[in-house]
Amino acid sequence: MVLLPKQKPGISVSFPKNQTKITFNSLTIMATYKKFKFEGTLTKDQIDFFNKNGFIHFENYASRETVNDIIESTESVQAQWIANKVQKINGVPIKYGVDENGKTIVQRFAFTNQYSKAVERFTAAPGLEALKVLMPAGSRLGLNEKDGVVFNHYVNTEGSNFFHMGWHTDSARDIFYGKKVAPMLNIGFYLDDSGADKGGLRILPGTHKQSLWDLLFRKKYYLNNFADDSEVLVEAKAGDLVIHDGRIWHRVAASPLTGAPSRRRVMYIPMIVGKYQPKHEKSATPLYLHLLPLVGSKKHKNLIPVFRKAA
C-alpha cells in the first residue's frame, strides 16, 4: 500500500508486488524502483535502467567496516578544521552547524578526499571506474575539480545549518562557470540508513533528458522543497551506492524527526568530462557558492516566503 504525495489523508493506492508504476490523474508515477547488486561491471539491464531513469541504486556496495572507517576519518578531519577555524577549501566554503548535543560540526565538507585517507582509499577502488560506462568517453572522477568529494551531514536540530535542500540539478553550476552543460554523474555513498524518517533524497526520474529550459526553470532552485507527485524516495542503507545524472531534478526533504534519529550522512563523488580544471588553495569562490551558507539552513527557510513574493 503506497500513500501518494499531496493526496488527502487516508487516500492510498494498492498495486501488485512486481508493479513499479501506477497512474494517478493521468500522471505516471514510479511508486517503487528496482535495486541492483554491483558485481564489478554493469550489465545491460543496469545501463538501460540508468539511461531511462537517470539514476541507479546498488545495495551493499561496501562493508560496514568501510562505512565506519570513513566516518571515523571524517570526524578526525572535522576536529582539525574546527580547531583551525577553516572557512574554505580550494575556494569552496565549509558549512558548519550544531549537532543534537550543541557541539559544532561540519555539515558540508569539500575535497574530503584530500584530507581523509579512508575517503581517498574508497575513491581509488576499481569499482567506481566501472561506472564510466554511463558516461561519454574520456570521463574521470573529479577528485581535484569542482568541489572534490563532498561529505554532507544532515541533522535536524535547532542549531543545524543543513537539514534539507530544495529542488535543484547539479549541472546548473556549469552555467555559473560560463560553460555548456556537460554530462556528469554524482556518485552517492551512504553512511547512514536513509528512509522517509530521515527526509531522504527525492528524485524526478527521467528529467535528465529534459530541455535546457526545463533544466533551468522547471522549479525554483533551492527555494522550492515541496513534494512533487512524480518524485521517488530513495531508501538506502549504510553501504549502498546511489548514482544520479547531474541533470536530473532532485531534493533532500527535511526529516520529521529531530536530533540523532534525523542524522543522514552521504558522500558524493563527481564523475565528469571535459577540460581538466583542478582547484587549488588560491581558487576563487564561484558565484553560486556564495549562497551556500543559506541553502538548507533555518535562515534559508525564513527567506523562502520573501523570495516567493519577489519572484
- Give, as one character, the DSSP assignment of residue 2: B
Q: What is the pLDDT of residue 162?
A: 77
243 near 187, Cβ under 8 Å?
yes
pLDDT, tens only, 282-297 = 999 877 665 555 554 5
CATH of domain 44-310: 2.60.120.620
pLDDT, tens only, 31-71 = 579 999 999 999 999 999 999 999 999 999 999 999 999 99
Among residues 210, 220, 217, 279, which one has the least CA distance to residue 248?
210
Among residues 133, 81, 66, which one has the least CA distance to residue 111?
81
Q: Which of 10-19, 42-51, 61-70, 92-101 has the lowest mean pLDDT?
A: 10-19
In this structure, the number of other CB atoms found within 10 A of the CB of residue 32 comes to 16
Q: In the chain, where are the structural domains located? A: 44-310
pLDDT for residue 157 is more than 60? yes
Rounded CA-CA distance 75/189 in Å is 17
- Residue 60 φ/ψ region, left for φ over 0, alpha for ψ in the -120 to 50 degree band, beta for the rest: left
Residue 132: strand, helix, or coil:
helix
- Give, as one character, the DSSP assignment of residue 28: E
Among residues 6, 58, 55, 42, which one has the least CA distance to residue 189?
58
Instruction: Locate all alpha helices (DSSP H) within the chain, ordered by sequence.
Output: 44-53, 64-83, 117-124, 173-176, 212-217, 298-310
Among residues 303, 109, 279, which one has the least CA distance to residue 222?
303
- C-alpha distances in Å from residue 253, one per residue of 82, 87, 162: 27, 26, 11
